[in-house]
Structure 1
Amino acid sequence: MNNKDTPTVDIEKAIKNCYSTWGEVYYDEYYGDGAPYPPVHLNLIKSILNDAGSKRVLDAGCGPASMLRHFLQKGREIYGFDLTPEMVLEAKRVMGQLGVPESHVWEASVLNPSGYFCDSANDDKYDAIVSCGVFPHLREEDEIVAISNIYNSLMPGGLAIVEARNALFSLFALNRHTYEFFTEKLIPVEELRGFATNEENVKLEVALEQLKAQLRTDLPPIRKGKAGELGYDEVLSRLHNPLELERVFKEVGFQEVEVVFYHFHSLPPQFSGSIRNLFLQGSINMEENPRDWRGYFMASAFCVVAKK
């Protein structure tokens, strides 16, 4: 999907459609015992919230309460909203069984400032806002809207924890994401084509094909929908440069901004199948230090942690 030309309303419609069949199975697929990789970011975010002593917490893009259900503890108020009705329905069911009022979970968009509060009569600000799995689905020009909304919904000293997929991991992945990162972010392909001679342009195309041949551009496989709807890789699902996203948080006004990494890969992902146990053990060992500088390249995801 072309995020530059597609209206936000159409992108959100496609995202809703993509996630509409995931409501009842998403948690098991990504947080359950059969998940392809342990949900290490859950403990990471829980520890950040606990260390901060967060008492009023919002999950902006809570899905089927995948993380929200684990944030529950004595003395803490928890709230969540999501864009997709089927996700909200499942989240209400799960949280209701845990004794959380149904009104604490609702349907909204991170781009709507009033959507951050469940009731116009109860717009008390939060001391922590978590947002996981949302920013990949935002156009670049909409990011600052979402970050500003998070900032404005926090009380002074409040904490934002926002997750994104790491674009710099592409340099380590050696797959189609690597080729896309090289040709769309690093190499000035169009500029070179603009001042190259005809002969040089032919050789440039050969060079790009040779580069492509060095990589596993057949990987990772494109994720399709479950029941005819568009899949995750068929809707807007961007990668983010942690250095650039950190800068945007500072521009909005956040202080003490840092990046913490998770979902480390001890080897490029194409080797995760042939020596799976070694790959997993090495990767999980690396999760012990979410501030390891190697995370910029060897972790596929990160969180921006920022204080208002």
Structure 2
Amino acid sequence: MSTVHAVAAFDGLPISHPDALVDVEVPVPELRPRDLLVRVRAVSVNPVDVKVRSGLERRDTPKVLGWDAAGTVEAVGPQVEGFGVGDEVWYAGDLTRPGSNTELHAVDERVVSRKPTTLGFAEAAALPLTTITAWESLFDRLRLTGSSRGDLLVLGAAGGVGSVLVQLAKLRTGLRVLAGAGKAESREWVTALGADAVVDHHDLVASVRAQAPDGVDLLFSPHSTGNVEAFAEVLKPFGEVVAIDDPVGLDLYPLKTKSITWHWELMFTRPMFTTPDVAEQGRLLAETASLVDAGHLRSTLTTAIDDFSAAGLREAHRLVETGRTVGKVVVHR
């Protein structure tokens, strides 16, 4: 077999266009020394997929998107030590390499772990990228521990990252978690995940002050544009923000008088630059799998599309583009 089926984009077309994502044949990937060749069984769609697709300029070669994946190891590179053929794995991949919307996918073993045994492939595929983002936000950027106390405000708490971050914060810290949500479905979802209180992001300052009159210590932001002044209002002096979005020309001056710290989190930094600690991503996914199998962490899958084709992935992109999804959208075979 010299080629495999994949779903790709050639241009940044609107998702309503039938050619926004198309079925293609691509070469079977060549393995680097530490690569796994994974037969992909399920992928999830994240905002990064939408961003990369919509920002494409017209090209002659297919751009295969997709980073979250769960599947079975088909082959291993010559220097692979931790995995063997037949292992069921999950991972979030590397932004600089071809994506996982394909039948066979090559990925560095250091950003992979065995998937939870208690989850099917679709349930597992919902978690890796958002879990790594949430984990690094809490424990690498904010340096939280089990003895951490105070109030954490999680905006977009019903989204992919927020849904995991709420769970991890309650599981691994002593923080009180305030979850930002608007519609009733989102409020019910974040409460079920363990949030201590729910605030209305449509009236953020008043809603937060009702729950935390003195302000919050920490804030997670998936959408920062137009919100910095509100952040400055609701955060205590010396508070901290961790943000995952891509705001252009963001003005952080309103944070200065309270000496508020701003952190950026991009889960692709480690694999993009092959940092010395790149294997931390595989390790934390292995720890996450243990938490899932022990019943401490739940999958955030809410919508499963049984159609691993361009049509199925276009529908998944359409749903994510609305910005109103609760939990995660997964496409599986």
Q: TM-score, normalised by structure 2?
A: 0.37
Q: Structure 1 or 2: larger strand share? A: 2
Q: Structure 1 or 2: larger helix share? A: 1
Q: TM-score, normalised by structure 1?
A: 0.40
